[in-house]
Every structure is written in structure tokens, then in C-alpha cells.
Amino acid sequence: MLAIGVTAARGVPWVLAMPLAGVAAALLVGIAIGWLFGRAQRILAAQKRREIAKSKQQLRAIFDGITDGLIIVDRDFTVMAVNKAEAAFLGSTPQELVGKPCYEIYCRGDRACESCPAHETFATGKPVLVSKIEHRSGYHRTGVDVYTFPVKDEDGRTVQAIQYIKDVTDRLKLQSQLREVEQMTGIGHMAANVAHEIRNPLIAVGGFARQLHEGLDADDPRREFTSIILEEVTRLEQILREQLTLERHLQPVLAPVEVNRILKDVWKLLSHGMLSSRVRLIGDLADGLPVTMGDTNQLKQAFLNVISNAIQSMPDGGRIEISTEQSGQMIVVTVRDNGPGISKEIMDKLFVPFFTTRKAGSGLGMPVTLRIVENHGGNISVDSAPGEGTPVRISIPIVRSAPEVEHRVLYGDSPEVPNDETAGRR
Ligand SMILES: Nc1ncnc2c1ncn2[C@@H]1O[C@H](COP(=O)(O)OP(=O)(O)O)[C@@H](O)[C@H]1O
Ligand SMILES: [Mg+2]
């Protein structure tokens, strides 16, 4: 080919040689384009690789930046990824843990830990929450909530599970403190009621016993009995005085409070445990509510009691609206659920200590709430009928000083409430 070409180039006029030059040029251009195209592709591929590496790095940074534990396992419970926080808890590094079966790490066994919520996520394809994971051996973590979320392939099969391990020690501590306050307040309240009831007859018993004692001759043997009665009455009076002092200790410690802030804290406290209960919390908190005087912990307890009741009334799920508004000189907090509502018979006993319709109930939630609200100079009303859900309205006066609260507790005030809301009003 080349010999013919050369011959032709030498032997033929230049006009005939032109097409050959054109072919060569086209070839050259083609090669150049091909080379350029290849190079462009290589540059693009390198750029893509850099972008992928960058995204991976960013994802890794997010994964490791989360201070709660994160771990991804496949259907064989092999660790696909684990973040730094979880690896640090396990005294290891992510590199050391990836590729190992997670049950070897967590429950030191040879098959998936029984209490692992990922079983259910793999079986149902749904998120699952368990509180307090306990393993027979290995890591016992009672202060954690473990959530598992499914990772699905394009056919919708759950191929991996993401486990989110949240340390809830502080929340558990706060909950148990609040329960203690609830019990103390409830028991203190009841003891104070009993003390009040006993004190008056006891004054009569003591008074008459003293008269009898003084009316008896000095050598009358019955004086021994009357003096025992007097001694015992004095002892009982002392016990009652102590009870009433305990009751005074439960008075609120007043400081400026933001009601919305308190509700947000309660919300945070509750929302963690609600994933499984299918209850939706909806907030409608008014802007610019004034600061008032109150006891943060006690108010938190009061709102928690009412919202917990709403949650417990809807075991199959439902919605709870929490709203705040200013109404005259009151801040009104309304907790409204769309649960089964309250019948007239239950409504009549709602604030009676130890009245409960729940198996695990204490019957202290509502009386304690009432007590707290009244100690703030406020009031509470519940309007409910079977099948209509339950709105609970708590009104707290807007006050600037502790003496003003005391004045309201003693002498009351007429809060602005519509006339038709009288059921369950305290
Ligand atoms: N939102 C509500 N919906 C339905 N019933 C309620 C609601 N709130 C309170 N109750 C009823 O009032 C009872 C007393 O409540 P509470 O004093 O908080 O005690 P406990 O919650 O321990 O039962 C409950 O057992 C329940 O029957
Ligand atoms: Mg309750």
C-alpha cells in the first residue's frame, strides 16, 4: 500500500495526490480527536472519582460527627459500618469492627443477640425501637434506646439495618426524679388532708381530757389514765405539725419561667419514647408569651402528667395538640387528645388521689397536677365526653413577683374562661 502510494505520489500530478493527503489529514484529526476524547474521559472519570471520594468523606464526617452510636449491619448481622462514637464505646476503632458479626461484639455469642431490634426490622421492613437492651453476657446498656431503620434495595427487600443507639441516662434520671416528685407531692398532699381532718377532733379530745384531768382529785387513780391521754394527744399533735411542715416544703420555689420553654423540654422528654406508640405530638405555641413566676420542675411535672395521660389513653395511636395562648392576664396551655374521652363517672373522680382506671396507674397524676396549678394561683378544666377526645386546659396567671402568686393562691382571681366550660373545672 505504501509503495503504491509513494509511486503514485511521485508518478502522478499533484491533483491526484490531494485526496491521499486529505485521507492522511483526516486520519490525523481522527487520532487527535480520539486522543482528546480519551483524555477528556479520563479527566471526567478522575473528577467523578474525586467527587465520589469527597461525598464519601462528607458522609463519613457526618457519620462520625454524630455523638450517639450508629452501626449498619447486613442480614447476616455483619458490621458494614460503625461510627467513631460507637467504636469508642466498644473500646475499638471502626476499621477493627467492620466485617465482624455484631453479635460477637455485643453479646459475645455465636448468633444474633435475642433482644436485638434488627430481627424485627429485617422481618417487617419497619423501624423498631427498644429501650434498655440487655444481653446475658457482653455489653449491658440499660441507659440506651436502640432504634433500627431498614435499608432497602430496588426490589424493596430490607438488605441492611441501621441501628441508632441513643444514650438516655439523663432522661431516665429526670423521669425518675419527676416520678419521685409526683409521689412525694401526692403523698404529702394526702397526709396534709388527713392531718387537717384529725387536728380539729384532736383539739377537742385534748381539751376535754385536760378538763377531766384537772377536775380529778390529786390521789384519784384515774388521773393516770387522763395524763396518758394528754401525753398521747401531745404526741399526735407533734406528728401532725411535722406532716404540715412537710406539706409546706412542697410549696413551689418561684422564679421567672417561660411556659413555652418548659413545654418544649417536656416535649423532648416524651418524643423519644413515642416512635413505637404511634402518637403524634402537634405543637402550636404562641409567640411572645410573657415570662411569669413559677416552679419550673413542678410545672414540668404538671404538663408531663397531662400529656402522659393523653398518650396512655390512646394505646393504638392518635394525635395530641399542645397549644399556648395569652388570655387576659393568664397563660393558657391546652393539651387536646383525640382519644376515647372521659365518662361522667370518671370525670367526677378525676382529681381524687389514687383514683385510676389503668392497671399500672398510680391515680396521682391529676390530683398532683391540680395541686401544682393551684399553688401557682391557676386553675385547670377538663371538658370531655366519651368518644370526643379530651381537652385539658391549664391556666397560669401572669405575675411579676412571688407575693403576687401567694396573693392569688389565697384570694384567687377571676380568670377569663367561656361560660360553657364548667365540666371538671377546679
Ligand atoms: N386524656 C385522658 N383521656 C382519657 N382518660 C383520662 C385522661 N386523663 C385522665 N384520664 C382518666 O383519669 C384517670 C386518673 O388519671 P391520673 O390521676 O393521671 O392517674 P393515672 O394516670 O395514674 O391513672 C386515669 O386512670 C384515666 O381513667
Ligand atoms: Mg396519669
Nearest residue (by CA) to ligand 1, atom 18, is 365
Q: List CB contacts of 383: < 8 A, sequence separation 6 or more.
A: 390, 391, 393, 421, 423, 424
Asked if residue 313 and residue 401 are part of one domain, the reply reads yes
Domain CATH number, residue 200:
1.10.287
Segment of 132-141, 297-306, 404-413 carrying the highest mean pLDDT: 297-306
Asked if residue 175 and residue 162 are part of one domain, the reply reads no
Residue 126 lies in a domain: yes
> CB within 6 Å of ligand 1 — which residues?
305, 309-310, 313, 337, 339, 342, 346, 350, 355-358, 361-366, 390
Is a pLDDT exceeding 60 seen at residue 336?
yes
Is a pLDDT exceeding 80 seen at residue 303?
yes
| For the CA of 390, the nearest atom of ligand 1 | 1
Average pLDDT of the residues in 297-313: 90
Asked if residue 370 and residue 281 are part of one domain, the reply reads yes
- pLDDT given at position 419: 42
- 167, 194, 211 — which closes off a domain? 167
> How far, in Å, from the CA of 193 to the mean position of ligand 2?
21
Average pLDDT of the residues in 325-343: 96
Number of domains within the chain: 3
The residue written with cell numbers 509503495 in the block is 3
Distance in angstroms (rounded) separating the CA atoms of residues 210 and 336? 57
Q: Are strands 279-284 and 379-382 parallel, antiparallel or unpaired?
A: unpaired
Nearest residue (by CA) to ligand 1, atom 24, is 356
- pLDDT given at position 423: 46
Q: Which residue has the higher pLDDT, 129 or 96?
A: 96
Residue 223 lies in a domain: yes
> How far, in Å, from the CA of 302 to the mean position of ligand 1?
13
Residue 19 lies in a domain: no
Asked if residue 225 and residue 309 are part of one domain, the reply reads no
Is a pLDDT exceeding 90 seen at residue 395?
yes
pLDDT tens-digit series, residues 173-183: 777 777 777 77
> How far, in Å, from the CA of 309 to the mean position of ligand 1?
5
Asked if residue 347 and residue 305 are part of one domain, the reply reads yes
For residue 189, what are the CA distances in angstroms to 59, 113, 243, 352, 361?
A: 55, 46, 10, 11, 18
Q: Give the number of the ligand closest to the Cα of residue 313.
A: 1
- 167, 186, 211 — which closes off a domain? 167
Neighbour count for residue 225 (Cβ, 10 Å)? 14
- 120, 152, 167 — which closes off a domain? 167
Average pLDDT of the residues in 352-361: 84
Asked if residue 261 and residue 399 are part of one domain, the reply reads yes
Q: Give the number of the ligand closest to the Cα of residue 308.
A: 2
Asked if residue 196 and residue 90 are part of one domain, the reply reads no
Segment of 324-333, 348-357, 410-419 carrying the highest mean pLDDT: 324-333
Residue 190 lies in a domain: yes
The answer to whether residues 322 and 263 touch, using CB atoms and an 8 Å cutoff, is yes
pLDDT tens-digit series, residues 1-53: 444 444 444 555 655 566 777 788 888 888 888 888 888 899 999 999 999 99
- pLDDT given at position 425: 53
The predicted model scores a pTM of 0.55
Domain CATH number, residue 136:
3.30.450.20
Which residue segment(s) compose the domain that 205 sits in?
171-249
Asked if residue 264 and residue 240 are part of one domain, the reply reads no
Asked if residue 226 and residue 273 are part of one domain, the reply reads no
Residue 53 lies in a domain: no
Distance of CA 267 to the CA centre of its chain: 6
Residue 30 lies in a domain: no
Residue 313 lies in a domain: yes
Residue 24 lies in a domain: no
Asked if residue 336 and residue 221 are part of one domain, the reply reads no
Asked if residue 330 and residue 218 are part of one domain, the reply reads no
Domain CATH number, residue 330:
3.30.565.10
Q: Give the number of the ligand closest to the Cα of residue 346.
A: 1
Is a pLDDT exceeding 70 seen at residue 365?
yes
pLDDT tens-digit series, residues 153-209: 999 999 999 999 888 877 777 777 777 777 767 777 777 778 778 887 888 898 899
Asked if residue 356 and residue 221 are part of one domain, the reply reads no
Nearest residue (by CA) to ligand 1, atom 22, is 361
